[in-house]
Amino acid sequence: MLSVCLAAGLDGIQNEIAPPQAVTENVFKMRLCEKKKLGIESLPGDLGEAIAEFEKDAYIREILGEHISMKYPEAKKAEWQQYQTQVTEWEINEYLYKI
């Protein structure tokens, strides 16, 4: 959603919001307590969590408007439901042949 990125950038410029300090270490190798100390948050773990975060974000809803803010998560929920009903090749290889 390029419009949200552009709006957030413009908001940062207009309100003179300083970006956080750069993290030069590998965050994937950090312990949870180290991330917390540096204020590093985790991204949603899957599309379901991302949809929930999207729906909680008033700023994004304001930028996108009511119509898109309703229709986008609706479409993504359908996509997530369809994904969850699929049996992957990994699952077949991992579980089916071990019975």
> What confidence score (pLDDT) does residue 18 get?
92
Rounded Cα distance between 35 and 23, Å, is 10
Note the pTM of the prediction, 2 decimals: 0.75
Q: How many independent structural domains does the chain possess?
A: 2
Whole domain around residue 26: which residue ranges? 1-42
> What confidence score (pLDDT) does residue 19 get?
87
Which residues are CB-contacts of 83 (< 8 A; sequence separation ≥ 6)? 47
Q: Given a cut of 80, is residue 1 above it in pLDDT?
A: no
> What confidence score (pLDDT) does residue 99 get?
63
User: 75, 54 in Cβ contact below 8 A?
Assistant: no
29 and 53 co-located in one domain: no
Mean pLDDT of 63-91: 94
Rounded Cα distance between 80 and 54, Å, is 14
User: 2, 9 in Cβ contact below 8 A?
Assistant: no
26 and 62 co-located in one domain: no
51 and 97 co-located in one domain: yes
Please report where in the chains the tokens 């304001």 appear, as a residue.
62
Rounded Cα distance between 74 and 86, Å, is 19
- pLDDT tens column, 25-68: 999 999 999 999 998 998 999 999 999 999 999 999 999 999 99
Which amino acid makes up residue 67? Answer: H
